[in-house]
Structure 1
């Protein structure tokens, strides 16, 4: 691919990210005329319109969206090659963008970042804490941590640990309402549910996903924060389903009591996912190896940690 075409693709991506041609010109820096000329040349080369230009913003056409996503991937691969040729396999350098579930990132990853940055002084880290599936290409993410079965067949997955989901309630709640003995008893209890879309939830029980049971839960409290759910449970609001590592202290201090242990689901795998093109990235590999080593040492996820 000619260098001028690569430069035009980089300008196109910068314009989309910046939201306007003038903003892209300021950030490059370049002239507005040059930015406009490069994008026009791309449209002529591919024989299609890529952007709809208005006085206030840019909008991608369908073909523009395809080129934008692929261009970001191609430019990312080129950056990886540049890092490798510059010796980054020996000393990781540059920017590492990581996405993690918010609670896991706050409790298990953020406390390690000081040591990680001290170990790799040429790296900078951007930690994105979100409870949704992210698009690694579109959002320019090098590495994502995800709990559960992996559906992204085009991504490389490395298993880091396993997460055990457990059910808990406060002693005060159990004294008032009694302790459920089997999953079906939950129909008579107040359940607190992690979700941002109230409705009907399903909790799975039993060690085998195929032979286990699924119980429909009509919760009285729906919260999109596991922290808030645990706080409500401690206050006696009802029964929660949370990762075991989140409430380890509350269980040890007697503020929560573990329920239905004989019916708990099998642990869910925790994977690090990344694009195949970044398999050899020194910074991605360094971060994964660092997490594995530290989690093996401190075992923050319990005995299911690898």
Structure 2
């Protein structure tokens, strides 16, 4: 059995939805397609597909093989493409994911320059404020904020993000300036989340001690842009990345509060698919971002902004 060919056929069957549709698209005979699936099942000693007169479904083992086979086949194509290209210029389609705000403000404006440098590349930019599954969603490169509990991920740290608390001068004049994290319980806090309920904000106390406060904010929004706009109009206190509000702090539209209690910076990583050879196009985009941000670090903006207390 040609294992690679059999896996390619298996993936085609799942994507097509039936053996006959896969046979037509390959093109190949229905008998050949059916035989390769049977050989795969015999090789792994497990049922991969559930066949009925109406539909075709994956077993649990079939789902595992499907996801891994797609990754293996993609990696093989990238190796083949890299070794066969004489000029080693990146080609094809690159799938990138990023948090919405970072993607919109810091990545999207750079894509024209990137594509001008690499005219044989195309980019799919997925902007989502959730953790993506690089393998299942076929993402080549992902920007992720926070510490990485999964050691299997191939990561490259590119920045530290400082979260800051700020409010408008009008709000602080009306409600007073918090002197400690506990004072926030008596203030209007604007919370970033897509699921209203209780939020936990973390703060630094003396030395290594950490203070956590559970907030039941009156306003919950799944957009940092909207929260900052409301904060500037006096709706309450917002917790956002310092780089996002650098101009507003410098211009006096917002004032930074509780600076001495700010938590340690949060890392920002570039993530690559585990167990995958970084392709030429993936390395090109990663190097492009890092080189651009080294010249002008966009993540330090606002760190030295004015503080009210």
Give the TM-score of the pair, scaled to structure 1.
0.88
Structure 2 unaligned regions, length at least 5: 304-309
> Using a 3 Å threshold, how does the CA distance of structure 1 residues 256 and 89 change in structure 2: closer, same or farther?
farther
**C-alpha separation in 1, matches of 2:20 and 2:236:** 54
Name 1:46's counterpart in structure 2. 44
Name 1:227's counterpart in structure 2. 225
1:93 alignment partner, one of 91, 103, 106 = 91
Indicate the RMSD between aligned Cα atoms, in angstroms: 2.7
Alignment check: 8 A CA contact 1:100 1:144 kept: yes
> Using a 3 Å threshold, how does the CA distance of structure 1 residues 25 and 256 change in structure 2: closer, same or farther?
farther
Report deviation, 1:231: 2.2
Alignment check: 8 A CA contact 2:246 2:302 kept: no
> Using a 3 Å threshold, how does the CA distance of structure 1 residues 112 and 49 change in structure 2: closer, same or farther?
same
Q: 269-278 vs 237-246, which deviates more?
A: 269-278
Once the two structures are superposed, residues 82-127 of structure 1 have per-residue CA deviations (whole angstroms, 9 ceiling, x without a partner) of 1221237831122211111111111111111111111111211111
Mapping of residues 78-227 of structure 1, within 5 Å: 78-87=76-85, 90-206=88-204, 210-227=208-225
Is 1:76 aligned to 2:105, yes or no? no
**C-alpha separation in 2, matches of 1:56 and 1:207:** 62
1:14 alignment partner, one of 4, 12, 15 = 12
> Using a 3 Å threshold, how does the CA distance of structure 1 residues 211 and 91 change in structure 2: closer, same or farther?
same
**C-alpha separation in 2, matches of 1:55 and 1:232:** 56
**C-alpha separation in 2, matches of 1:226 and 1:40:** 51
Task: Say which SS state the counterpart of residue 240 (structure 1) adopts.
Answer: strand
> Using a 3 Å threshold, how does the CA distance of structure 1 residues 61 and 181 change in structure 2: closer, same or farther?
same
2:273 alignment partner, one of 263, 272, 275 = 275
Give the TM-score of the pair, scaled to structure 2.
0.87
**C-alpha separation in 1, matches of 2:175 and 2:210:** 26
Report deviation, 1:299: 1.8
Name 1:65's counterpart in structure 2. 63
Report deviation, 1:264: 1.2
**C-alpha separation in 1, matches of 2:260 and 2:155:** 30
Name 2:306's counterpart in structure 1. none
The alignment of Structure 1 onto Structure 2 pairs a total of residues equal to: 303
Name 1:261's counterpart in structure 2. 259
Alignment check: 8 A CA contact 1:164 1:304 kept: no
Structure 1 unaligned regions, length at least 5: none
Name 1:237's counterpart in structure 2. 235
The higher radius of gyration belongs to: 2
